[in-house]
Amino acid sequence: MDDVRVIADRFGRAAQSYDAYAQVQARVSHAVAAMMPSYVAHGSIVVDVGAGTGAIARCAPDYAWLHIDASEAMCGKISAGERLCADGRALPLRDGSMDGYVSSMAWQWMHPLDATIREMQRVLRHGGYAIIATLIAGTLGELAEAFRCSGVESPLLTYPSAASLSELLIQHGCAIHHHALETHRMHDGDAYAMLRSLKQIGAIAHKRAPLSVAEIRAVCRAYPQCTDGGVVSSYQVGWWVVSRRAR
């Protein structure tokens, strides 16, 4: 498991370039914001855990926002609402103090998820809803295959399956009101451009030493190309709307 400070530092270094490169993340943040009125009343107090630069709040300004992110540099990019630099697995909030909870493309970094789910439930008021969008198994499958074929040790995250995450939510006493799966695809001119984009958003998990130039070349040679010479990277996004199950 990556240490929270290692993750925070990596995203902190990417804070200045993040919004320019995080296209899939922006799409998903917009979708979270669009879903909110169906579950959380306007004007409600909502915590965004793993808020990044505050994209959801920019799309849904009619809420009282509290942004949580482990990176001080990311928090510094947030322009609306309150912000706290903290770990999503240990939220500095009172029990039942939030009307709503959202998290977009962040839970994959918050292992163990047991702690993340317990904190979500703890801070939500009775009857409050949480909207979670997170990356699941199959994400960056093309890149994972390129690492395998090139023989280069992969620095990529291991993503949970949708089924295992649903089961974990149920085990922790969540009622699932909505669940969906989506595939988002990004097109880049070549594999080098795709890797640069991942670096610019802090999304390479360094479970090993940084890639050497020779390793980058080997991975890029192994990456599957489209007929036009470009490359595609796939992101598998799992969606859940949950609440605390009535006892």
**Whether the bond into 112 is cis, omega within 30 of 0:** yes
89 part of a folded domain: yes
Q: How far apart are CA 228 and CA 193, in angstroms?
A: 15
Q: Please state the pTM of the whole predicted model.
A: 0.91
112 part of a folded domain: yes
Q: How confident is the model over 64-81, as pLDDT tens digits?
A: 999 999 888 888 888 878
Q: How confident is the model over 1-33, as pLDDT tens digits?
A: 447 767 767 676 766 777 777 789 999 999 999
Between 132 and 199, the more confident residue is 132
Contacts of 207-214 with C-beta under 8 Å, sequence gap 24+, read: 207/2, 207/155, 208/153, 208/155, 211/152, 211/155
Quick one: pLDDT band at residue 237, thresholds 50, 70, 90?
Answer: very high
220 part of a folded domain: no
194 part of a folded domain: no
- Which two three-digit tokens encode residue 115? 């702690």
Least confident of 59-63, 162-166, 175-179, 195-199: 195-199
146 part of a folded domain: no
95 part of a folded domain: yes
DSSP state of 78: -
Structural domain total, the chain: 1
CATH number reported for the structural domain that contains residue 96 in this entry? 3.40.50.150
Instruction: Share the mean pLDDT of the chain.
Output: 90
Q: How far apart are CA 127 and CA 135, in angstroms?
A: 26
73 part of a folded domain: yes
Structural domain including 118 reads 4-137+159-183+236-244
129 part of a folded domain: yes
